[in-house]
Amino acid sequence: MAKPTIWITRTLSDATLERANRDYDVIWDPADKPGNASDIIGMSAKVDGIIPCHSEHFSADVVAQLDPRLKIVANHSVGVDHCDLVALADKGIVVTNTPGVLSDATAELAMMLMLCAARHAVEGDRIVRSGAWDFWSPAFLVGKQLTGARLGIVGMGGVGRAFARKARGFDMEIHYHNRSRLAPDEEAGAIYHADLDELLAVSDFLSLHCPATPQTIGLMNAARLAQLPQGAVVVNTARGNLIDEAALVQAVESGHIAAAGLDCFITEPGGNHAFAAFENIVMMPHVGSATIKTRDAMGFKALDNLDAFFRGDTPPDRL
């Protein structure tokens, strides 16, 4: 029987590409450029499935123009805000994602950003690296301690829970807001706030781990940032549009927010150059899940979903 043809839009891990090439007729361009609307529409007539990343946008307009040959979009991401799920479902296209396997890598990056933001890592690195380190004092680069501080987590899915586990190792007091309260064993002593505003009021550190949806876009606006305690640290490894970036700039400028650690931005790639004026904002270019182990696991999960679909089974991560 002929192998299904799939389009892999970006450069996935070597092990993923090797397995994909073994089991499918693969279209993949090593130039590694994001697929635009016309690439996606054109490719849909040539392939049975696509493994896209969050860099390929399946808007309602794009989905309306997809060729009926395309049967499955097996995302290489847990976030699916780049896909109009209603339009894809209406068109009968199956959509899957990669939950679970990137939780630890993303939580590790959130921890790195939180520590770097709290302890002036950007400024310290710049001073030593540039040869400008000619002074020391007990008053020099004094930061904010994690131990014993209150950590607020918004979104207790896989990444939020992995982050809470890591933060417990730093003896932080964990608070969280989630659509529903976790079971006691998953909560593991974390304090639930049904009301987001109540969570913000006790968050010396705040870390965002919820998906971008119409309900959460712009979640951290000026009013919500103002509810955080004076000198709070904000971390975002979820999606850039959860934060009103202009409001964050103002809150950092005023000193109400002491520091921020950001792995995602409203404009990607590119980021927000207004943040670059602040050494107390540490930034990474959307690489939360970028470890060798996790890239393999994400690629394999996408392939597991495709394999199940083409066998005639329900893919394990069907949305």
Residues designated as active site: 239, 268, 286
Hey, which residues does 243 pair with through a beta bridge? 220
Question: Which residue, 210 or 228, has its beta carbon nearer to ligand DGY?
Answer: 210
Determine the 3-state secondary structure of 158 from DSSP.
Answer: helix
* Sheet order of strands, 232-236 included: 191-192, 173-177, 150-154, 205-208, 232-236, 257-262, 281-283
Q: Which two tokens stand for residue 318?
A: 């069907």
As measured in angstroms, the least distance from the Cβ of 191 to ligand DGY is 27
| # residues near ligand DGY by CB under 6 A | 8
Task: List, in order, residues 6 or more apart from 214 with CB less than 8 Å away.
Answer: none
Site for ligand DGY in 270-309 (CB under 6 A): 288-289
Question: Which residue, 10 or 144, has its beta carbon nearer to ligand DGY?
Answer: 10
Question: Which residue, 99 or 143, has its beta carbon nearer to ligand DGY?
Answer: 99
Determine the 3-state secondary structure of 277 from DSSP.
Answer: helix
Question: Which residue, 4 or 271, has its beta carbon nearer to ligand DGY?
Answer: 271
As measured in angstroms, the least distance from the Cβ of 214 to ligand DGY is 17
- Residue 173 CA to residue 178 CA, distance in Å, equals 17
As measured in angstroms, the least distance from the Cβ of 67 to ligand DGY is 25
CA neighbor of 275 nearest in space, from 258, 252, 257: 252
Draw the binding track, 11-50, toward ligand DGY (x: CB under 6 A; -: no contact).
----------------------------------------
For ligand DGY, the nearest residue by Cβ is 79
As measured in angstroms, the least distance from the Cβ of 81 to ligand DGY is 8
CB count within 10 Å of CB 228 equals: 24
Radius of gyration (C-alpha) of the chain in whole angstroms: 21
- Residue 180 CA to residue 60 CA, distance in Å, equals 30
As measured in angstroms, the least distance from the Cβ of 290 to ligand DGY is 8
Draw the binding track, 141-180, toward ligand DGY (x: CB under 6 A; -: no contact).
----------------------------------------
Question: Which residue, 260 or 297, has its beta carbon nearer to ligand DGY?
Answer: 297
Question: Which residue, 279 or 304, has its beta carbon nearer to ligand DGY?
Answer: 304
Determine the 3-state secondary structure of 283 from DSSP.
Answer: strand
Residue/partner pairs of 276-284 with CB below 8 Å, 24 or more apart: 278/249, 278/252, 278/253, 279/120, 279/122, 279/123, 279/126, 280/117, 280/120, 280/122, 280/123, 280/252, 281/117, 281/122, 281/252, 282/113, 282/116, 282/117, 282/121, 282/122, 284/109, 284/113
As measured in angstroms, the least distance from the Cβ of 87 to ligand DGY is 19
Site for ligand DGY in 48-107 (CB under 6 A): 53-54, 77-79, 102
Binding site for ligand DGY (CB under 6 A): 53-54, 77-79, 102, 288-289
